[in-house]
Amino acid sequence: MTKLEYLKESPSQTAGPYVHIGCTPNFIGNTGIFKEDLGARMVNPQTKGQRITIKGRVFDGTGTPLKDAMLEIWQADSEGLFNSPSETRGEADPNFTGWGRQPVNLESGEFCFETVKPGSVPFPDGRTQAPHINFWIVARGINIGLNTRMYFPEEDEANAVDPVLGRIEHRMRVSTLIAKQSGDTYTFDIYIQGENETVFFDI
Amino acid sequence: MSKPTTNAGPFFPRDRNWHPPALSPNYKTSVLRSPQKALLSLGNTISETTGPVFGHNILGELDHDLVQNYAKPGESAQGERIIVHGHVLDEEARPVPNALVEVWQANAGGRYRHKKDGYLAPLDPNFGGCGRVITDENGYYAFRTVRPGPYPWPNGVNDWRPSHIHFSLFGSGFAQRLITQMYFEGDPHIPLCPIVRTINDPAAIEMLVAKLDMNHCVPMDARAYRFDIVLRGRRSTMFENRMEGN
């Protein structure tokens, strides 16, 4: 009799309201332990590609912005390559980390990432995914981190054939994943509940 | 330039019944912070199978020592000195090397060094409450700290958190990203805690309870707790490539 002896994943627990102590200590004034908060800078002057700013807030079921959330983003570089050992297609831009981490402002609830617009990346079946950025959101009251994606409004054609957006059964919900553009600044508001609940993924 | 492909495939699906559900009404804050629509299940694409991996060069000399990393010269944090150590493994029991492990916690009196924590227990001037380590080639990590105190929190009128240390983990792909908490063997608050009890399966809760490990104590200095962590397993890309050809 063959037995499957897989381990179980460690179960998630909420990040709680004090996630900053461990993840962004300098942001709350706990300086002198880590030189800088990890993920605070994604780009440097040598980074290739179009500089963009992504702003937004995370809203609870009453429409109140969360003041204690932390977001992480993960994305390809401007050529569509990931700065990761698991990237097997080539070398990503060494001046772009692809990974960012920002707490929301403790008063306004706003987050802000300075990054570059990502290139397209392939879907496993060979189709092309529209440019997108993966988001991961944790906070007090969130028992397991929420995964979603941000897409770009000027990429109408690519978005229309994107294999992930294409999986969304209720088409009116596609718009919850598409940021609003104003020049090089994109606004991506995330709604945890309610009429405009953002599409979250089980990845 | 090609890179190793031995473990770059999709991750095993997450067991959402093993993890706490998003909505757990006894943990009141979850009520308005839980998605109400079904998650959209998405097989991993390269956006999920890749992820940031950090080098040991990000670490400072005392990042692994919370007893000292905020202390004035010649002083140290107050409380029970402990070493927390263990392995980070994947679901196939393979070690996860180069995994960044970030930890944060309250001090020995149960107070966090955070501007939003108003608990009346005092701050310890020599304790910051944060640290980080990266697992070695065998997936092993260790750090030194003091045992955090339990503290009351506004949920029920008399809810107390068990002593706990928050853990944030990176594996090799963004889909492995995990935040959890470590509890201490024998703490009577564990079964009473509404946050612990967001997890339904007692066997899952047990995974978060560190064990007193007398073999790794440092005599006359610190006791040791053993805490192994399991991240999602993943398939090889080689097999995936063959499947794509079919």
Kindly identify which residue of chain A lies nearest to residue B68, measuring between CA atoms: A33
Q: By the CB < 8 Å criterion, does B230 face chain A?
A: yes
- Residues in chain A closer than 8 A to B201 (CB atoms): 11
Q: Give how far B56 is from chain A: nearest CA, Å.
A: 13
Q: By the CB < 8 Å criterion, does A104 face chain B?
A: no
* Catalytic residue positions of B, numbered: 112, 151, 161, 164, 166
What pLDDT score does B8 carry? 77
Q: Are strands B229-231 and B81-90 parallel, antiparallel or unpaired?
A: parallel
Q: Give how far B35 is from chain A: nearest CA, Å.
A: 5
- Across the interface, of A82, A132, A192, the residue whose CB is closest to B33 is A192
- In sequence order, the 6+-apart residues with CB closer than 8 A to the CB of B118 are none
Mean pLDDT score across all residues of chain B: 93
Subunit contact B174:A74, Cβ cutoff 8 A = yes
d(CA B119, CA B12): 41
- Across the interface, of A10, A34, A197, the residue whose CB is closest to B207 is A10
- pLDDT digits over B28-45, tens only? 999 999 999 999 999 999
- Residues in chain B closer than 8 A to A74 (CB atoms): 47, 50-52, 174
- Across the interface, of A15, A143, A201, the residue whose CB is closest to B166 is A15
- pLDDT digits over B55-105, tens only? 999 999 999 999 999 999 999 999 999 999 999 999 999 999 999 999 999
Q: Confidence class of residue B7 from pLDDT cuts 50, 70 and 90?
A: low
Assess whether pLDDT exceeds 70 at residue B4. Answer: no
Which residue has better confidence, B130 or B241? Answer: B130
Assess whether pLDDT exceeds 80 at residue B240. Answer: no
What pLDDT score does B6 carry? 52
d(CA A21, CA A14): 14
Q: By the CB < 8 Å criterion, does B49 face chain A?
A: yes
Assess whether pLDDT exceeds 80 at residue B246. Answer: no
Q: Give how far B118 is from chain A: nearest CA, Å.
A: 12
Assess whether pLDDT exceeds 60 at residue B192. Answer: yes
- In sequence order, the 6+-apart residues with CB closer than 8 A to the CB of B154 are none
Mean pLDDT of B221-242: 84
Residue with tokens 């940031």: B52
CA distances from B145 to A25, B68, B198, B221 (A): 17, 8, 27, 12
Mean pLDDT of B185-209: 98
- For B:9-28, CB contacts with A below 8 A are 10-16, 18-22, 24, 27
What pLDDT score does B35 carry? 98
Write down the pTM of the prediction: 0.96
Mean pLDDT per 10-residue interval, chain A, length 203 residues: 93 98 98 97 98 98 98 98 93 98 98 98 96 98 98 98 98 98 98 97 98
Q: Cα angle vertex A5, ends A4, A10, to 5°? A: 125
- For A:60-89, CB contacts with B below 8 A are 60-62, 66, 68, 72, 74-76, 82-88
- Across the interface, of B39, B69, B201, the residue whose CB is closest to A201 is B39
- Across the interface, of B14, B30, B45, the residue whose CB is closest to A124 is B45
Q: By the CB < 8 Å criterion, does A3 face chain B?
A: no
For A17-145, strand residue ranges (E) read: 51-59, 70-74, 99-103, 110-116, 121-122, 128-129, 132-138
Q: Cα angle vertex B55, ends A41, B9, to 5°? A: 95
φ/ψ region of A194 (left if φ > 0, alpha if ψ in -120 to 50, else beta) reads left
Q: How far is CA A63 from the centre of its chain?
A: 21
Subunit contact B178:A143, Cβ cutoff 8 A = no
